[in-house]
Amino acid sequence: MEKKFAHVTELKSTQELIDIYNHATDYQEQFVKEVYDELLARGVDGDKLFRERERYIQEQNKYVELGKKVSILEMIFYPLFVLKFYYTLEKLDRDDGDEYFDPSSAELMFIFLIVVLITLGLSARPFHIATAKIARRGEEPIYKYTKGSRIYGWIMTVVGCWLLIEVILETVFS
């Protein structure tokens, strides 16, 4: 059998080759076979390699199943903060107080940009929770957060985007 990657495998240390073998899905199949052959040629026990690889995969699967959870405080206070911001905007829109406020177009544009930036900021954290992954080539993506946390993230992202769209539409049509 022709060794296409011999020039690479011969230069690597045994530990580097073991790491490559453990992360086989990140490399071409032919390269992993040549790494395995090189490890056997260096006198590494094939059964031990297989056991270490299986242990590594089990550790990764354990992490995938567990994932990080979003704290209960964040799940409670974040929606309350979003709702408080929304009701503040609604109150400002409906405020018929004694003071007459007539902002210039530049002031209106500044207020609009600040509101847009705040709503984008409110959507950033939930979007990160919903989509954060530990990148893996050739496998299903491994998410950083649990499924329940990702669902919460998507719900809060939609709420933040809904708020942003409402602010934009209200500004355009008022």
Tokens 């199949």 belong to 29
Identify the three-state secondary structure at position 142.
strand
pLDDT of residue 62: 64
Q: What residues does 134 pair with on adjacent strands?
A: 142
Residues of the chain with pLDDT under 50: none
Contact 48, 36 (CB under 8 A): no
pLDDT of residue 38: 84
Contact 21, 53 (CB under 8 A): yes
Pick from 67, 53, 76, 38: nearest CA to 143? 67
pLDDT of residue 82: 79
pLDDT of residue 92: 67
Pick from 70, 3, 62: nearest CA to 36? 3
Q: State the pTM of this model.
A: 0.51
Write out pLDDT tens, residues 79-102.
887 777 777 777 766 655 556 656
Distance CA 18, CA 16 (A): 5
pLDDT of residue 121: 80
Q: Residue 162 CB: number of other CB atoms within 10 A?
A: 14
Contact 36, 21 (CB under 8 A): yes
pLDDT of residue 67: 66
Distance CA 161, CA 154 (A): 10
